[in-house]
Amino acid sequence: MSFIEAKALWKEYGDNTVLERVSVSVEEGEFITIVGASGCGKTTFLKMLLGIETPSRGELLLNGRPLPDEPDSDRGIVFQKYSVFPHLTTLENVLIAKEFPKAGLTGRLFGKRRKAALAEATEALQAVGLEHALDKFPAELSGGMQQRLAIAQSLINQPKILLLDEPFGALDPGIRADMHQLTLELWRKTGITVFMITHDLTEGFYLGTRLWVFDKVRDDPHSPDAYGATITYDIPVGECDHRTLQKLEGSLGGDKENTEQRQQDEQVTTV
C-alpha cells in the first residue's frame, strides 16, 4: 500500500474540467516537484491534498484511506504569501504553532510548558537563520525571511506531508537558491514527504527526487475547458528518495561508499 495514492482523480468546476484521470502513487519521504502551465491545476491538486477541495471523481488516499476533507496537523503548507500571522512576532508565530494542539480554551500555554515551547520555537528559528529577528513583526521581515518563518512554523509540529505552492516564486534568484538549500536540508533531517509547485523547470529538475509535469493530453480548440490536465511526465530526478538513501546507507555500511554517495547527492542537488 502506498503512502499517498490518487486513483483516476478528476476535478471539475462546473463545465471546466481542471484535472482528469490523475493516477499516481507516492511513497513516504519523497520530494516531488510539480511544474506545468499557468492555470493547469497544480494548485487545485495541492488543495485536494490539503483537504480544502474535494475530488469530483476518483479517490485520493492516504495510507489507503480517503484524505480527511479539512486541513489538519498532518499536512503543513507554505503559500506564496499570507502564510504567517501579521499580528504576531516571529517568535510568537512559531510559538502559536506549539500552542494550538496543546492549549485548550485559552489557546495559550503557561508556565513550564510555555517555557519549553519557547525554547523549541527559538531552536526552530535558529535552524532557519532567524534567531536575530525573534521580536519582529512579519511586515518588518524581507520576503525571504517571511518564507523561512513560514517553513519553520509549518515544520515545528512535524507534519507527515509538506505542501509548498510556489513558496519562493517572489524571491530573488540568489535568495531562492539559499531557500532551496534550506528546504533540502530540512527535508533530509525530517524525512517528511514534500510536494512543491514551481514555475521553473530547472528548479524542479535539480531539487527533489521526482518531477511531475501537469499538462493536457487532449485539447479541443473550440472549448478549451472541456478537457483537463493530467500528469504527463513522472520522472525520477537527481537522486533516490530519503528512504532509499537511508536503506543504501544502512546496507553499504562502509564509510567510503557512504561519503561518495553523499557527495554525489550534494552535487546533484546543489547544481
Partner 1 sequence: MKRLMNRHPGSIGRVFLTLLPFLLVVLAYAIASDIRLSENPSDKLLPSLTSIGSAVERMAFEPSKRSGDYLLWVDTLASLQRLAWGVGISALLGLVVGIANGVIPYVRANLSPFVTALSLIPPMAILPILFIVFGLGELSKVVLIVVGTAPFIIRDLQSRVLEIPSEQLIKAQTLGASTWQVILRVVLPQILPRLLDAVRLSLGASWLFLIAAEAIAATDGLGYRIFLVRRYLAMDVILPYVAWITLLAFIMDYALRKVSIKLYPWFHGLSKQGTAA
Ligand X SMILES: Nc1ncnc2c1ncn2[C@@H]1O[C@H](COP(=O)(O)OP(=O)(O)OP(=O)(O)O)[C@@H](O)[C@H]1O
> CB burial class (10 A; 0-12, 13-18, 19+) of residue 31?
buried
Check: CB of residue 33 under 8 Å from CB of residue 169. no
Q: What whole-number distance in Å separates Cα of residue 101 and Cα of residue 13?
A: 34
Nearer to ligand X, 22 or 127 (CB): 22
Q: How far is the CB of 180 from Mg ion (least distance, A)?
A: 19
Q: What angle do CA 192, 20, 75 make, to 5 degrees?
A: 20
Binding mask 154-183 for partner 1 (x = CB under 8 A): x--x-x------------------------
Residue 190 within binding range of partner 1, rule CB under 8 A? no
Check: CB of residue 143 under 8 Å from CB of residue 171. yes
Which one of 29, 36, 208, 238 is in contact with ligand X (CB under 6 A)?
36
Which one of 23, 39, 232, 234 is in contact with ligand X (CB under 6 A)?
39
3-state secondary structure of 262: helix
Stretch that binds ligand X, among 23-31, 40-48, 129-137, 184-192 (CB under 6 A): 40-48
Check: CB of residue 159 under 8 Å from CB of residue 73. yes
Residue 8 within binding range of partner 1, rule CB under 8 A? no
Q: How far is the CB of 75 from partner 1 (least distance, A)?
A: 6
Residue 13 within binding range of ligand X, rule CB under 6 A? yes
3-state secondary structure of 56: coil
Check: CB of residue 9 under 8 Å from CB of residue 58. yes
Provide the 10 A C-beta neighbour count for residue 202: 10
Residue 18 within binding range of ligand X, rule CB under 6 A? yes
Q: How far is the CB of 165 from Mg ion (least distance, A)?
A: 6
Residue 83 within binding range of ligand X, rule CB under 6 A? no
Which one of 33, 43, 83, 209 is in contact with ligand X (CB under 6 A)?
43
* Binding residues for ligand X (CB under 6 A): 13, 16, 18, 36, 38-44
